[in-house]
């Protein structure tokens, strides 16, 4: 039962990402500045996240816990800003469907590599023949989704 709930929550997350990306891309179009739309989106995200942090009952990390974090992990936000900014720039040019199909494909491919090699301390999940077949089907699907796009 928990897997079904997690799957539903994952679908809800993707629906939220598609909706917010479309909304913020249009914000960038209307403001004629996708970078400004990205900044506005991240400012709103920061406010909601800080509120959630203040309302949570979780203890704040100690000094030694902060120092134990590998330096490269502090740059995930920069990758988020790059990815989100590109979404807001590309969606008005490509359309939300094609953009999401390419973005999801890129995310899945990188996620599979990260799992295969155990990057960032993730559990290792080796790529096998069945997963390679899945990758081929995914790429074929992306080609079909985006066939004859103008």
| Model confidence pLDDT, tens digit, residues 94-127 | 988 889 889 989 999 999 999 999 998 889 999 9
User: What total of structural domains would you count in the chain?
Assistant: 1
In a domain, 150, yes or no: no
In a domain, 84, yes or no: yes
Predicted local confidence at residue 1, as pLDDT: 53
Whether residue 20 is contained in a domain is answered as yes
- Mean pLDDT for 48-52 is 95
What is the overall mean pLDDT for the chain?
Answer: 91
Greatest alpha-carbon span in the chain: 55
**For residue 43, what are the domain limits?**
2-145
Q: Would you say residue 110 lies in a domain?
A: yes
CA dist list (Å): 111 to 74, 120, 138: 19, 11, 14
Rounded to whole angstroms, how far apart are CA atoms 86 and 78?
A: 12
């Amino acid at each position: 039962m928990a897997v079904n709930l997690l799957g539903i929550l994952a679908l809800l997350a993707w629906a939220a990402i598609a909706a917010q990306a479309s909304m913020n891309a249009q914000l960038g179009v209307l403001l004629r500045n996708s970078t400004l739309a990205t900044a506005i989106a991240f400012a709103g995200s920061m406010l909601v996240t800080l509120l959630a942090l203040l309302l949570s009952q979780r203890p704040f990390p100690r000094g030694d816990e902060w120092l134990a974090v590998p330096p490269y992990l502090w740059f995930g936000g920069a990758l988020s800003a790059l990815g989100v900014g590109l979404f807001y720039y590309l969606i008005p040019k490509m359309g939300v469907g094609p953009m999401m199909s390419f973005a999801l494909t890129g995310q899945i491919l990188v996620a599979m590599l990260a799992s295969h090699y155990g990057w960032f301390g993730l559990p290792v999940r080796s790529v096998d023949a069945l997963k390679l077949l899945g990758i081929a089907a995914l790429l074929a699907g992306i080609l079909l989704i985006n066939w004859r796009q103008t």
